Structure 1
C-alpha cells in the first residue's frame, strides 16, 4: 500500500475529523479493523506515529497533523481540478459550498447570490446554516469553500477575504417611543420590552457583557435561537431587539421595523467576515462567488479589508 494514495488520505481525514476509528469506519462503511490496520501500516512505512489511541478515541500527533494538512491540500487541489474540468461538462462543475450564519441568510440570497446567478447561471451552490465556531471549523477542515461569520475568533488557520465593521444596533417597532431617535443608549433599550438570542449566540454574549459593564440586568421577554423570530417579534410591535444592521435592513427598507444606532462603545467594534482556509487555492467558481459576495452583500459594505 502506498501510504499517500488518495484512498488512504481520504480515510485518514475521516479518522481525524471523527476522532474515533470506530466512527470513521461507520462513516466509510468499512470494518474498524481495516481502518486500524491501514493506519498501523502507514505508521510503519513512514516510521512515525500518526495518532495516539485511547479509550476515548484518537488524537493526532504532530506528524498526524502534518499529514492531515497534506491530505486537505490534496483534496483542495482535486476540487480545484474538478471545478476546472466542469467548464467542459454539462453539469457546470462542483457546487460552491458556503457555511453561513443565519443572520446573513437573507442578505446572501437577495444581494449576493441573486445577482451572481443572473450573471453566471452555470454556477451551483450548497449552503449550510451554522454558528460562528462551526463555520470556522467547516472552513478549516475543508467542508466549506467559503464561510460568512459574525465576529469570529481570530485564527491563523483562516483568512478573511472581506471584513466590514458591523456594530450591533437596536431594532424597534415603528410605533416605539424610541423610533424617532437616531441613536439610543443601551440602558434606554433595556427599559422597554425586548427579545434576545439565546446564550449560544455571540450577539447575546456581546449584549450581556455590555450590560454587565454598566451594572444592567438582562430580562428578555422572549429568548430564541432564531434571527427570523426576533425580527418577527419586533415587526409585530411586541418590543425591540439587538442585531447587526444588515440582518434587519430588508425589513427596515420595507418600513416594518426601525434600526437605531447604539451609543455603546463596546458594541461598535465587531465585524462580519468572509472566510476561507488559509493558504488554500480556491476553485474559480468559489473565487468568483467570493468576489461577488464581498462586493454585493450589505454585510460587507464599508469594508475595512479586501
Structure 2
C-alpha cells in the first residue's frame, strides 16, 4: 500500500473530527481534494476505511488499523526530523577535526570542552597530524578544516590565527643559557641541537633561518616527537626549539629551562585553515566560530 504523509495526516484528521469536511479543514485541504485523496486511499487499500453516514464519518475496523499505524508512522517521522535537525545543527553525529600537536595539547582542551559539553550527542574525532599534513589534507578534500602553525605554506587556503604559540629555546638545568630570559637566534647557533626527524616542517623552518645567517644547525640527534626532543635536552644532549605549549607541558618532567626567542619568525600563531567558509558543514562552522574563527569569503589570508 502506497501512502504519503499528507494522506495519513488527512485520514487521522477525518477520524478525529468525525467528518470529511472538518477533517479537510484541519488538514488545510479543499473538500474536493480531501475526498479524492480518501477515495484513492481506499482504492489502494482494497477495503473500506470509513463509514459515511448522515452525521459524518466513522472508521471501519480496517480504518482503525490504519489510524493506529498512521499515528506510529507520523510520530516516527517527527522523531526523524528532530534527529536530522540535530545533525544539521551540529548537536549530533561525528565531527572530524585535524590539529597539530601544539593545538591538541595546549589550545584545544580548554576551548573544545565547553562547546562539546553543550552537544552531548555529538562526537569529535581528533586527528593529530603535522601542520604540513593538515594543509595537504584540506587542500585534497580529505579534511574540512584543521588547526596548524602559521609557519607553513598554505597556498589558497583560508587561514585565521586564533592563538599565540611562539617557539621557545629549551635547555637543561645548569646550562649556560638557563638563567637568560630571552636570546636571539643568531647567538645560539654555536650550540649543539636536538632536532626533529627529516621532513619535519618545524625543523626545516629553523634550519632555513640558520642558513640565512650562513650557518647550519649542529644537530646531534633527531627525534620523531617533541617529547623525545625534550627528554634528550633534559639529559644534556643539546638544546632544542619547541612550541611554547609543548615546552610548558614537558618542563617539569624533564627539568627544562625555557628561554624566549626574540626573533620575529619565532612568534608563531596557531591558525584555523579551510578552503572556503560556505563549503564547511554547519557543525564545523559552529566549532570554528567557537574557537575564534569568523565567517569569511574571498582570497586566503597571507601569513
Shared fold by TM > 0.5?
A: yes
What is the CA distance between 1:287 and its match in structure 2? 2.4
Question: Aligned residue for 2:98?
Answer: 99
What does residue 289 of structure 1 align with?
A: 287
Q: Distance in 2 between matches of 1:146 and 1:207?
A: 26
- Is this contact kept in 2: 1:189–1:240, CA < 8 A? no
Equivalent residue, structure 2, for 1:56: none
TM-score by length of 2: 0.59
1:261-296: CA deviation from partner (whole Å, max 9, x where unpaired): 22334x24643221122143433322232234338x
**Structure 2 contact 172–233 (Cα < 8 Å) conserved:** yes
Aligned residue for 2:179?
180
TM-score of the superposed pair, with normalisation by structure 1? 0.58
Tell me what 2:84 maps to.
Answer: 85
Aligned position for 1:153 = 153
Distance in 2 between the 1:253 and 1:86 partners? 47
| 1:153 shift after superposition | 1.4
Q: Residues 173 and 121 of structure 1: is their aligned pair in 2 closer, same or farther, counting only changes over 3 Å?
A: farther
Correspondence list, 1:9-20, <5 A: none
Q: Note the C-alpha offset of 1:188.
A: 4.0
- Report the counterpart of residue 213 of structure 1 in structure 2: 212
- Between the aligned partners of 1:232 and 1:181, the Cα distance in structure 2 is 21
Q: Is the 1:97–1:144 contact (alpha carbons within 8 Å) kept by the matching residues of 2?
A: yes
Helix, strand or coil for the counterpart of 2:219? Answer: coil
Aligned length: 213
Q: Which residue matches 2:167?
A: 168
Give 1:196's aligned residue: 195
CA distance 1:211–1:280, shift in 2 (3 Å): same
Deviations along 1:158-181, whole A, 9 cap, x unmatched?
Answer: 212435554432122233221211
Query: 1:229: how far off?
Result: 1.3
The answer for unaligned runs of 5 or more in structure 1 is 1-81, 296-303
- Structure 2 distance, partners of 1:83, 1:97, is 22
Does the alignment pair 1:274 with 2:272?
A: yes
CA-based RMSD = 3.4
Q: Map of 1:233-252 to 2, 5 A cutoff?
A: 233-252=232-251
Flag structure 2 segments of 5+ consecutive residues without an equivalent. Answer: 1-80, 294-300
1:104–1:247 contact (8 Å) kept in structure 2:
no
Q: Secondary structure at the match of 1:233?
A: helix
Go from structure 1 to structure 2 and tell me whether the alpha carbon gap of 1:291 and 1:218 turns closer, same or farther (over 3 Å shift).
same
Pair member with larger Rg: 2
Which structure has more relative contact order (CA 8 Å, sep 6+)? It is 1
Deviation at 1:126, TM superposition (A): 1.4
1:92-112 C-alpha deviation (Å, 9 max, x unpaired): 533111122233321255333
What secondary structure does 1:194 align onto? strand
Residue aligned with 1:200, SS: coil
Return the alpha-carbon distance in structure 2 between the equivalents of residues 173 and 292 of structure 1. Answer: 38
